[in-house]
Chains A and B, each alone.
Chain A
């Protein structure tokens, strides 16, 4: 009996091959987008974990030469003899083979702090000290060995080997190994030419990039949901078409449970096969996107990860599981309806009930509550999900309302029919249009956010890079000062790291120059903020510190040398740390001896001054013109959002595919509705054009509904998610041109999807149209 029933089920797919192809492609696409994003996330996580190991050295306090030169072996020996526990480090470019360049770090495995040397026990394998350790993806030659603990782009060797390979005699720095013995002398007292460099602030890239990866996961989930709309539409139609068959089977004595179980098994099998295809597509997608993700993480957070994608069970097994579970979940409704239906099936009538409207309104209310009261990144994403799902639930009713409102505008019977038919077909098209609405909303929301960010960032760069020339000054600027004439105003950039209000922060000195008053606008603050700052008792903080510490204008903050009143807040996009601006004398008190690492120069003749400085002995690579810096900054910015743009486009493409599958699956049921028009004198091409118009109209109205949803999404991104994830709030920048373009693209995707069904209709045999009029409607 099982075989006979399965034969009957299979005959449905044999006769409806387009439907089967649609189902398989829908599941495969949904799985591909989900697994692709998960593969990227897994790779990013693994890359960051490896990178974190390499960052240990940078996070430890170290000694460097004040003049930027090498530390000699004698210096090292002198400090060790004085009782200071130090370990030498050295790094430089290294080519394990032609065409491959790595950063070789030399470490003394016996004196280095735990965790720096790849092997846990440096004394266990004495031969290891003679090898150069390479990351797993670089082929090891003689004298080299691969080790999984070596991050991509890095190589690690004993300090002696590194000196030989790099052609150096001394060291870059000496790491102060914790804990130092009691009574150990001040190293700067032992060797006055050295300067102690504080530990880098605690900015774990894995923490910072979590928001980015959460963002990717959200996009993956959105794509998956849009893909499941395809599955839901196809399974729904297949089950509706099978209802009569199921009734006949039950009338012939097949138990209901067996019918239900076999339908489930059949769907699970299709989902597993399609899921496998999706996993392969997901791998290809991840491979294509990974270089962009790698650049993005580098661009935003400076986190270096690789661009290769490994087959990790965590995502491909997960992808298969979610393909089967997602398919069964999206098919549950139609399956239950079919299984629970009467033995002799009655034609089902789709009536938009009040439940979706009530659920939609409740979800929108939940979204608003989460946005206002949530106060966390997770709540921000939950608010976005609730907004999208609420809007999705309200889409059919919204479309119906718009079409009803437009009905009086129809002139002539054909226009009247088009509007009425579009409205009547909402139940059949609602899933596709909902998928389109979600994709368009995401595109409008994220696009507007990125555009707001781009324009704010561009303005910010214009303001912040006000000086015409920037010079790196490892010597503190002594050499530069002698070369500057009266026509150049130097603005030293000096800072010290500190923990302020529990947040890792930087305290910057600003000299009293019109540049700051004119070009560094405050987001909020007192009118005399700059005057009070220069007077030495006040500070201006960045937005990140404002949001994270809850401190604002009027509040007092404790600096290392005493309290200061916050008199203003400035934007500081792209900086993960808190920042405080104080007067130069105050920074001198906070960090005596701090010297400017860079000097900005205001001048009317930047190019000529640059030439003069080079002629005066400043290396050319230490000098940057304002235009060059702006160009580099904006290039990094564009690169940063390349992956987001790619995922946006993919989501829209999947929504277009959802429209196509919906149109293909309902194509047969359209004929009885079109045949009366044909018999009344509208030819097939005219009917095909009307079908195109109908789909375009649906897509245009969906786009109209997507606009407010997208803007609400953008608001959530700007005011909730960005603030929680990055610590800055961007001003909303409206770009109606871009919105219209996106709405047009949404319509274009729908029209492209409708072209093939319309073309098929324009060539359908007249006999099919005449015969359909004799059949049941």
Chain B
């Protein structure tokens, strides 16, 4: 659902009923290993995220941040609990359903950029949107300019800097106009100045298209720039 669609969805919601939230996580549990020696990673995690809202997901290493992000992205399956994306429960979806969800409604940004090394910067930028059948050349041109990527379109990912690669990853995600943007330590490989530029670009675009942002970070400075914060400790939501 892109931004205008989201506005339409809010208008057509029956009177009195609350519009669907971008993300609703309820009593989520996840453990790894066999039943007799299972290691719990997430225990009874619940939270919500509305459109236009940004949330930092913090916690020490091994607290379950990335696992939670992967569950929300449909990259992994929970043992119990519900994940609702724009009102739709995604925990019961099969592999194809999850793939469709990722193709059309979610976008992910990783610490390692995860660009497609064999495609040019321009092709990487438009790739996800074209997969979803939502290619908008004017929007991509605007994104290219705003992210400072003009003139780099013909280059391959390994021919540009780390900061530029992460901006390409943001551009690729935003070209889709997703409902939910998930970012896993997107500035972990960047110096502080570049990290600040990347976060500024990302939050600006999130505000512009009105999607929700869930961002995993270890950085207090970046977490402070998000609208809300969810702190995980030993797999549970807890105080910092």
Give the B-binding residues of A (Cβ under 8 A).
412-414, 416-417, 420-421, 423-425, 672-673, 675-684, 686, 766-767, 769-770, 773-777
Contacts and interface: CB of A to CB of B under 8 A. Distances in A.
Contacts of B108: 679-680
8 tightest CB-CB pairs across the interface, nearest first?
A681-B103, A424-B118, A770-B75, A683-B99, A420-B118, A413-B130, A681-B102, A676-B114
Interface stretch (B121-129, B141-149, B192-200, B231-239): B121-129
Contacts of B50: none
Contacts of A425: 118
A775 B112 CA distance: 7
6 contacts: A413-B130, A676-B114, A682-B131, A683-B95, A770-B70, A774-B184
Interface string B104-141: 10001011101111110001001110111000000000
Q: Give the one of A676, A677, A684, A769 with max B CB within 10 A.
A: A676
A292 B173 CA distance: 64
Nearest to B135: A413
A520 to B, nearest CB: 62
Contact of B99 (A414, A416, A682, A776): A682
B2 interface: no
A437 to B, nearest CB: 22
Q: Give the one of B99, B101, B110, B123 with max A CB within 10 A.
A: B99
B95 to A, nearest CB: 5
B112 A686 contact: no
Given A676-B115, A774-B112, 9 more contacts: A413-B126, A417-B116, A679-B75, A681-B101, A682-B131, A767-B76, A770-B76, A773-B114, A776-B112
Contacts of A413: 123, 126-127, 130-131
Contacts of A414: 131
B75 A766 contact: yes
Contacts of A770: 70, 73, 75-76
B165 to A, nearest CB: 11
A425 B128 CA distance: 22
A681 B111 contact: no
B100 interface: yes
Interface of B: 66, 70, 73, 75-77, 95-96, 98-104, 108, 110-112, 114-119, 123, 126-128, 130-132, 184
Contact of A683 (B96, B112, B118, B130): B96
A679 B95 CA distance: 12
Contacts of A676: 114-116
B116 to A, nearest CB: 6
B123 to A, nearest CB: 6
A681 B99 contact: yes
B145 to A, nearest CB: 22
Contacts of A682: 99, 103, 131
Contacts of B66: 774
B100 A416 contact: no
A417 B99 contact: no
B102 A424 contact: no
Given A767-B76, A777-B112, A680 B102 contact: yes
A446 to B, nearest CB: 36
B75 A417 contact: no
Q: Give the one of A416, A675, A769 with max B CB within 10 A.
A: A416
A350 to B, nearest CB: 12
A423 B120 CA distance: 13
Contacts of B95: 683-684, 766
A680 B103 contact: yes
B117 A777 contact: yes
